[in-house]
Amino acid sequence: MAYDQLLLSNQLCFRFYALERELMAAYRPLLDHLGLTYAQYITLLYLWEHEKATVGELCTALSLDTGTMSPLLKRLESAHLIERHRLPSDERTVEVLLTKKGWELEQKAVSIPSHIATCLLSNDRDEQGRKYVELRQMLDQTLEQLKQTRKEREEGR
């Protein structure tokens, strides 16, 4: 090969791709047990944290477009985990609220983060907590840097 930088083994993007596939494989049985997809799970995580949200807030927070969010919410509503309604003050805005069943699912999901952390990090709880925070901070910084670089490139066109 003429260019070492084009070797698959030198690609960061391939590492992220492989990591994402392995993470989803680790999540799959845990979420299957709850009857959820990963996108539904992160939607519920946001709602458990914020109690309610508009569709726009969910799209922004989860980096999903409305074409993905609308059918996802429809399935959660069919499963009686959420309710949707239009705001009286603005008929264009749809608000999403958890149902009693949606709130009850939170207790069943509480062990998922620690299970995933154990898969990724050390079995030592103290070390795991420290590594988890460090990894999350590093990933947050990397994501923000990528977003900023993309934004600058788009503005430079």
Taking the domains of the chain in order of start, what are their residue ranges? 17-106, 121-157
Which CATH number describes the domain made up of 17-106? 1.10.10.10
Torsion over CA: 118, 119, 122, 123 (sign): positive
pLDDT at 60: 96
Mean pLDDT, rounded, for 8-19:
91
pLDDT at 129: 79
pLDDT at 40: 98
State yes or no: pLDDT of 124 exceeds 90: no
**Mean pLDDT for all residues in the chain:** 93
Strands (E), the chain: 52-54, 82-87, 90-98
